[in-house]
Structure 1
Amino acid sequence: MLIFKYSKHFNFLNPFKTLIISTMANSKFEYVRTFETEDYLLPNCWIVVRIDGKSFHKFSKKHNFDKPNDLNALKLMNKAASTVMEEYKDILLAYGQSDEFSFVLRKDSTLYNRRRSKICTYINSLFSSSYVYFWKDHFQDTKLKYPPSFDSRIVLYPTDKNLRDYFSWRQADCHINNLYNTTFWALVLKGGLSNSEAEQRLCGTLSSDKHEILFSEFSTNYNNEPVIFKKGTILLRKKFKYKNSNKIVVIPLHEDLIQDDFWVRHNEILEIKTCGFYEIADDVIPELVLKQLCLK
C-alpha cells in the first residue's frame, strides 16, 4: 500500500514526479548521511572567527596597492567586515589589520546551534563576497584581476582575560608589522635600496632603531603616522543620536584596546549588554557609518 504524505515540495501538476523525489529521498543510498559528523562548539566560551587573506602579498602587488599601507584597501576590508556585523547581531566586536579580520561572538550565542562549520563558512563566505561586491566602490580605476580568497578558523576562549589577550596580541602584531613595513618601504622607495638590501639593513634592529632610521634619514616621526595604520580598526555596534532619533550602526574606531580604558568605556562587550551610546558630531560621521545610513 502506498501512503502519500503532504510535502511543501508537492507538485500538484505532476504528482508522480513528487512520488519519485520522495522515493529517492528515502532510497538505499541515504545511508551516506551517517558519515556526516556534527561539530558543536563548547558552550559558555567566546567564539572568535579569524579571516585571513590568501597570498595577499601577491594580490596587493598585482593590484598595485600603495606601500606600506593602502588606505582604500583597508577601507574595503572594513566595509566587508561591517557587512558581516550588520548581518550577524551576535558579533559584539571585530578587529582588523592588513588582510585579516577577527570577529568575536557572544559567549552565550546559539547561532546555527554553535556548529563550527556553519559559523565559519557563513561568516567567511559573506566577508569574501562583500569584499568582491564593494571592490568597485573603493577601487574605481582598478579592475579586479582575479578572485581574492580568504581562509577562516574558529578559536574558543573560555575567559574574558583570554579574549582580551587575543585582541591585545593582534593589535600588538599590527604595530610591530607596521613599524617594520613603514621603515622597510622608506628604505626602498625613498632610500633607493633593493628589497634584499632593506631586509639586511633591518635585520636585528629594535623598535627604537627603526624610529631613528625613519626620523634621521627620512624626516618621518612614526608617532605622527595615521592611527589606522598603527592601531588597526575596531568595529563596534553603537547607538548614536542622528536627527533627533537613535540609530544603531557599526562604528569604526582606531584606538588602543590593550589597556583597561577601552574595555571600561565599552563594558557592554564583556558584560554582553545592549550596545551603548556613542557621541558623533554631525560633521565627523565616518564614511562607513554614512553608508549604513544610506547617506553616501
Structure 2
Amino acid sequence: MANSKFEYVRDFEIPDPLLPNTWIVVRVDGRAFTKMCAKYNFQKPNDRRALDLMNTAARAVVADLPDITIAYGVSDEYRSARADNKGHINNLYNTSFWTLIQLGGLDNKEAEKTLAGTVAADKNEILFSRFSINYNNEPEMFKKGSVIFRDYELVDPDSHNVTQTIDSLAEPITQSKTQKENDKKRRAKARILVEHMDIIKDDFWDRRPWILSNKPGKIPKET
C-alpha cells in the first residue's frame, strides 16, 4: 500500500496500546479438526499421535516466542492461561461415551441417554463394571491435558512470599534495555517442558513464581 493511492488510509490509523502488566491470553482453536482426524484415522476420544502433534507444535511456538509465559492444551485448542477442571470432566464423559459406542455397541443417542444425569462416580462405575476399565489408569495427558512452560529451579513455597509476588504485579515494571535483553537470554537458555499435571492447586504456582511474576527464574544445574 506504500506509495500508492491508498496510502492516505494511514492518516486514519490510531495507536492501540496495551495496558502495562496486563496478561494477554491467546486461544488457538482447531481448524478443520474433524477433517484432519478423519484423514489420519485418529481414534476417539483420545489419540496419542494427535496429542503429541499438538504438543510439539505448541512447544515450538513457545520456544520461538520467549515472551510466552505458559501454554496449556485442552481438547483441540491451546491457550496461554490457567486451566480449570473442565479438560478432566469432559474427558471422563468422552471416554465413557465412546466406550459405550465402540465396546458396548450403542449408537450415539443410546450412549447419550445412558450417561444423562450421571455424575463422575456413575461414569467410573459404568467403565469398570461393564468394560473392566479403571479410569484412574488412563494416561495423565488424557485426564489433565498438557501444560508447557520454561523450566527453572523450583522454589520452596514456605520460603517464598507468594502474596507479595502477586501484589507486585499491580506495580508497573520498568526495565532497561539491557535488563530486557538479559531476561530474554535467560528464557532462551531454559528448557521447555511439556507436562501433564494438575495446575489448579496452588502448589504448581507457589513452586514456580516466575510464571506469575513473568521474570525468568534460576536455571537448574545440570546433573
Question: What TM-score results when the alignment is normalised by the length of structure 2?
Answer: 0.76
When residues 279 and 184 of structure 1 are mapped into structure 2, their CA distance, relative to the original with a 3 A threshold, is: farther
When residues 25 and 207 of structure 1 are mapped into structure 2, their CA distance, relative to the original with a 3 A threshold, is: closer
Answer yes or no: is 1:233 the counterpart of 2:168: no
Q: Deviations over 1:22-76 (max 9, x none)?
A: xx94555421223445433322211111111134234323321112101111111
Could you tell me which residue of structure 1 aligns to residue 105 of structure 2? 192
The residue type paired with residue 65 of structure 1 is F
The residue type paired with residue 265 of structure 1 is R
Unpaired runs of 5+ residues, structure 1, are 1-23, 105-166, 241-246, 282-296
Could you tell me which residue of structure 2 aligns to residue 96 of structure 1? 73
Structure number with greater Rg is 1
Preserved contact between residue 97 and residue 232 of structure 1 (Cα < 8 Å): yes
The residue type paired with residue 34 of structure 2 is H
Answer yes or no: is 1:183 the counterpart of 2:96: yes
The residue type paired with residue 60 of structure 1 is C
Could you tell me which residue of structure 2 aligns to residue 21 of structure 1? none
3-state secondary structure, aligned to 2:26: strand
Preserved contact between residue 235 and residue 253 of structure 1 (Cα < 8 Å): yes
Could you tell me which residue of structure 2 aligns to residue 154 of structure 1? none
Could you tell me which residue of structure 2 aligns to residue 51 of structure 1? 28
Answer yes or no: is 1:252 the counterpart of 2:194: yes
Preserved contact between residue 72 and residue 83 of structure 2 (Cα < 8 Å): no
3-state secondary structure, aligned to 2:193: strand
1:252 CA drift (Å): 0.9
Q: Distance in 2 between matches of 1:70 and 1:280?
A: 34
1:206 CA drift (Å): 1.2
Q: Deviations over 1:229-284 (max 9, x none)?
A: 001111111158xxxxxx62211111110011101111111122223456898xxx
- Identity %, equivalent residues: 54
The residue type paired with residue 272 of structure 1 is N
2:213 corresponds to which of 266, 271, 283: 271
Which structure has more strand as a fraction of its residues? 1
Preserved contact between residue 74 and residue 97 of structure 1 (Cα < 8 Å): no
2:203 corresponds to which of 258, 261, 275: 261
Count of aligned positions: 188
Unpaired runs of 5+ residues, structure 2, are 154-188
The residue type paired with residue 122 of structure 2 is D
2:126 corresponds to which of 197, 204, 213: 213
Q: Distance in 1 between matches of 2:215 and 2:118?
A: 44
Q: Distance in 2 between matches of 1:36 and 1:60?
A: 42
Answer yes or no: is 1:76 the counterpart of 2:67: no
